[in-house]
Amino acid sequence: MRRVAVLNDYQRVALDSADWGAVDAAITVFDEHFTTTAEAIEALRGYEVLCLMRERLPITAELLDGLPDVRCIVTTGAANRAIDLEACARRGVIVSGTTNGLGRLATAELAWGLILAVARSIPQEDRRIREGRWQTTIGTTLRGLTLGIIGLGGVGRYVARYGNAFDMDVIAWSKNLTEERALESAVTAVSKEQLLERSDVISIHTVLSPETVGLIDADALSRMKPSATLVNTSRGPIVREADLVAALRDGTIAGAALDAFDVEPLAADHPYRTLENLVLSPHLGYVTRDVYAEFFTETVRSVAAYLDGEPIRVLAGPNAVTPAGAVVRQYEDVK
């Protein structure tokens, strides 16, 4: 029987989030995180279809070389930068994706939750009240403060809307942001330097790319107000970890909240775990029941179509075709 692997299902919810009855294959769920390519190859030999949860497992040329039976990869989300699409295309591996509409909304809501958590020291006060202590911090009122958004895309626009609802002064920057596009979200477009210097809260919602790796480094952090806070629900490498640790320890900025990290899951001895002025969440941006239902329902649809030889939306390769031979949408069309 043909074999399908559902990967990195940390919470073991994939099979309960959708009806997999249409998939005529043996399905195995892996809830562990593979720490090396060799470990992943050993576990996944013999599987024809891999179902990915976002970027939890990098699909590299080395991994594909060790898994010659893989013919189809289905990722949740409309794009997955952890997949080497060129390597997949060279090997004839079909890569399909799902939509990500609810995921953007869920991430924006989490970002706002983290903004409030930092402003009012909610995690710290929760811990202390359990220890028998009472009112150990003084919070910050958001009304009238400046919210700076880096990346006014699908998530950033929602965060801007929430900032306006809290009567904040909302500004935004990204490389290609225009004044007209900013005004559509009732936001003022500014330069990167102005955003860093003016913002009381900075929330990151840009994609990870060679241009954005290390975008927030020691220099950027030094330009921020000492009273400012930084929130990152996008991708870990956008913020240089060592520079943020130093800035939080030295009081260069007042606090931060992170939902994404360079390496996930976060190492047990990571210095982030020792910082009192840092709020951590384990990449929960898209982790809601509604989003999982959307992701896995569409995953099932794509896997079943592939196994039945029917057309599916493909994300890989300029000449990618479905099993039925029909040319389909390319990766660049669905970012």
Residues labelled catalytic: 235, 264, 283
Is 83:316 a contact under the CB 8 Å cutoff?
yes
Is 111:233 a contact under the CB 8 Å cutoff?
yes
How far is Cα 160 from Cα 226, in angstroms, rounded to an integer? 23
Strands 229-232 vs 26-29: parallel, antiparallel or unpaired: unpaired
Token digits of residue 193: 């330097």
Token digits of residue 246: 């130093």
How far is Cα 49 from Cα 74, in angstroms, rounded to an integer? 8
Q: Facing residues of 204 across strands?
A: 150, 232
**3-class DSSP assignment, residue 17:** coil
| Number of residues that make up the chain | 335
Sheet holding 26-29, edge to edge: 26-29, 3-6, 49-52, 72-75, 94-97
Please state, in angstroms and as integers, the Cα–Cα distance from residue 37 to each residue in 8, 33, 61, 64, following that order: 14, 11, 10, 10
Of the candidates 224, 200, 221, 185, the one whose C-alpha atom is nearest the C-alpha of residue 141 is: 200
Token digits of residue 67: 């898994």
Phi, psi dihedrals of residue 47, rounded to the nearest 5°: -90, 135
Contacts for 199 with CB less than 8 Å, ≥ 6 apart: 146, 147, 148, 171, 224, 225, 228
